[in-house]
Chains A and B, each alone.
Chain A
Amino acid sequence: MGIKTKRFINSRKSCSCSMPGVWRAVAYTDGVVVILHSPRACAHIARTMDINTHYRSLGEGRQEERASVPLLSSQLEEKHSIFGGVERLKQCIAFAVEKYQPKCLVLGNSCVAGVIGDDVEAVAKEAEEEYNLPVLTVDSYGFLDGEYYEGYFEITYKLIERFLQPQEHIPKTVVLLGDSGGPWGHYATEATRLLNAMGINVIGQFPGYMKLEDLPKLTSAEAMVVLGGRGQTHADFDKLTKILEERFGLKSLPGIYPVGWQQTERWLLEIGKLLNCETQACEVLVQERLALRQSLQQFLPVTRNKKTVLCIGRWLMYFHPDAVLGTIKNLELDLTGIILLDAYEEEYRQEMEQALKLHTDVPIYTNFDGEALLHEAELVLTTHELQDKNIKQIFLPMLPKVGTKGEIEFMRVIYRTLCSRHSGGGMIYV
């Protein structure tokens, strides 16, 4: 029979859509209005993401500092698949300019617009001349030519092209790059806390969270700190930091992210070197180690030697297991096995197996031969929700929490799950 997951995903590409990426790249950039050249419901998807972000922030005890910018849809209908949607888009642009008086318009393109062949680039150029304001668009049409991050990064590059100028750097200042829930999200608040503790100021978060009029300030930062992970976007952020480094002289830390405790230690020390504050970095490191150790003292009596199984169904490009293996080691959990779920093609399974073998000699099972193991485990850490309702599962998110606080929070969730005396299973989210 084998272990059943709640979702079956075997697609390696076309898993997302470029339009929400376009939207998120400027979602809180006051002065911008976004138009999705799409059926109306596509914009509602972006809106749903927006609502979820809002409540996630509230759930984490944080209040967003400002509302998102207007999002319009050209509201393509069936008839436009025959006659084209360009006129509709033009009318929508005219409306947006009149109603919101934006300082910049951003156009996202749907797969429908791509299939019917609307020349959105030409419409953007025409609108730019007519209304005398920047009108940015992308080559990605929905899921046809790229995914979420194609839209996100293409707009980011265009913002850089249009609005940034070289200038003098202010020592010990950084700009945060990336989204991860914005300035009020966990990643940015934890990174900012650690940076401030080293005497480093954050001047803004780009793209998406600086006002249009504040964008030129971005290049006054001494360095940039990427709010990323070792997943899919790693290469895109590398490219982005190279552009900002070459054109504006901002320093960067390529490929180092505070995901998991070991990486957080490394991140702190490297930031210290980058911004000439190694002494402060070492001091902060001592404090953070102390905080982590104090938490471990609370957690270890419960977590030590508890039978744990790790289930992985994500590809290595989305999920690197080293951080979770580090947490398992710190909590002294008894990792009895690792199960690779059936979402893998052989090539990707081997890739994950090799990565795992570099970090652990724990036996690796398939979803068929590992099923019995699950029922003996006191805890299952998993990238995919398992259908068996009797299993106590902790879901490993695509975007894990970062820094010391993130690591402690993750460990606390494991600790509380093991403290729980509920007889049934269930899914717990970090």
Chain B
Amino acid sequence: MYSNNQCGNICHRVDTCALSGAATFVAGIPGAEVLVNGPLWCYFYALRNLEHAKYDMGERFHDCQPDNNAIVYGTEKFLTATLQRLLDSGRKPSLLLVESSCSLSLIGDDLAGIVRKMDLPYPFVTMDCGGLVGGFAEGYTKAALAVIDKFAKEQEQVEPEQKGVNLLGLNDFYYNGVADRKELCCLLEKAGYKINAVPGGGSSLEELQQLGKAQLNIVCNEELGLKIAQHLEKRFGTPYLVAGLPYGLQGTQKWLRKINEVLPCSHLQVVLDECEQQAERLNALGNDYRGLWGSIWFDKVVIAANGTQALCMGQAVRNEWADMGELIVICQHDVQNTYCHMADEVLLAGRDAIKIEGILQNVEDVLLLGSSSEASTLRRRGARFTSCTIAYPAAEEVLLTETPFVGIRGAAHMLQKLWNVYIRSVLDKQVSK
């Protein structure tokens, strides 16, 4: 039964469709390219999403530009012409994903057959992957499973890697995704693990073929990685751990201990010590600012982001970084809330649409950790708020450096952001008096 609660004003939410989710997974493979079998309009919106994180995506993301008659006569001539143009241009992608948009996936074209006929000199994978499949997460997962199914070697064909781990559910196209991915890899390597692969986050097709080598699959963004982990467990028998994202220093220690419990590592203490040293440093530096400005305080904090990120950050923001009267966490995806017990309220976009709409229409004097979607809603109605951008769309802040939000470096980065936004809010209040 269709719940009316799922039907709220879409103006309080932004998600992209499966088309761009699938493209994101494949674009995370070095040298891989994507061909969209769908209207230019859908293509451009997926492209804009990809270009936020990788400026050269226009060269790796193509569209066969079908016209409306393709619904009746099929898309073969458009697909064939575009594939021929790509061949003529001399491009040699490491992998080509050919994906159909929602309406073109309904007309019954044999996508795989059309592509096979072109006798491409490089590997390819085809799928229907438009908005009917779902949102970004559904597309990402679908593409991941298709690539793994087609290319990953059977376990008996690969040598197991001692302390080898795969990181699942990461991608470079989440806000600050590249920096976070690098920090996670760095933490794990310092602790003594060997990163076997990060599917959709920089691993090559050859590395993905060796996915079965890992001893443990670590699910970071649950909305993207859980189904992949379950699939890998079924296929290779590799156990998985839903670890979430390590925000804050205590959060990072907890995250590493959790992984260590399942797959012990050689240098856990080294990283835990580094966390302690960083905590001491941040506390000492923070004392200076506390002396001047008082402790960071917000009457209300609203976090709105991708499911795992929102919950994990919710835990760190209240447990480690700031004091507040109330914490509301808005998740864009439905994930198990094993991460955050600090929130006064956890809401799910879609299911709790009306409540979320009410919050964004009425909230005042709030710190928003979210995207420019929520910020623009507050700004339009003239609400009093301060904000830090932690998710796309991101129009209000410029992000050029690769400083993570997660891990040891991320803890300092986030605390710095919160201090700056707090000091600015105090100053702004003085000006408005």
Contact = CB atoms under 8 A, between A and B. Distances in A.
Contact of B45 (A48, A55, A144, A387): A48
Given A14-B40, A41-B16, A55-B395, A71 B11 contact: yes
Contacts of B4: 91, 94-95, 98-99
Interface string B77-101: 0000000000000000000000000
Nearest to A65: B380
Contacts of B19: 41
A72 interface: yes
A6 interface: yes
A381 to B, nearest CB: 20
B354 A99 contact: yes
Of B15, B41, B130, most A-chain CB atoms within 10 Å: B41
A317 B7 CA distance: 39
Given A142-B103, A143-B41, A92 B58 contact: no
B7 A92 contact: yes
A16 B67 CA distance: 10
Interface string B1-35: 01010111111011111110000000000000000
Interface stretch (B131-139, B146-154, B293-301, B407-415): B131-139
A55 B373 CA distance: 10
Interface residues of A, number: 64
Nearest to A87: B2
B131 A9 contact: no
A47 B11 contact: yes
B11 A111 contact: no
B71 A51 contact: no
A13 B131 contact: no
A44 B39 CA distance: 16
Contacts of B103: 110-112, 114-115, 142-144
A31 to B, nearest CB: 15
B282 interface: no
Interface string A43-87: 111111011101100100000101110111111111011000001
B425 interface: no
Nearest to B372: A51
A72 B6 CA distance: 10
Interface in B343-365: 354
Nearest to A64: B380
B17 A41 contact: yes
Contacts of B48: 48
Given A38-B131, A41-B131, A51-B14, A88 B379 contact: no
A71 B65 contact: no
Contact of B7 (A16, A68, A95): A95
Interface of A: 6-17, 38-48, 50-52, 54-55, 58, 64, 66-68, 70-78, 80-81, 87-88, 91-92, 94-96, 98-99, 110-112, 114-116, 142-145, 387
25 contacts: A6-B59, A11-B65, A14-B66, A17-B39, A38-B131, A39-B102, A39-B131, A40-B15, A40-B17, A44-B15, A44-B17, A47-B13, A48-B14, A48-B393, A52-B395, A55-B395, A66-B380, A76-B131, A76-B132, A78-B133, A87-B2, A92-B7, A95-B4, A112-B131, A112-B132
Interface of B: 2, 4, 6-11, 13-19, 39-42, 45, 48, 58-59, 62, 65-68, 71, 102-103, 106-107, 130-135, 354, 372-373, 376-377, 379-381, 393, 395-396
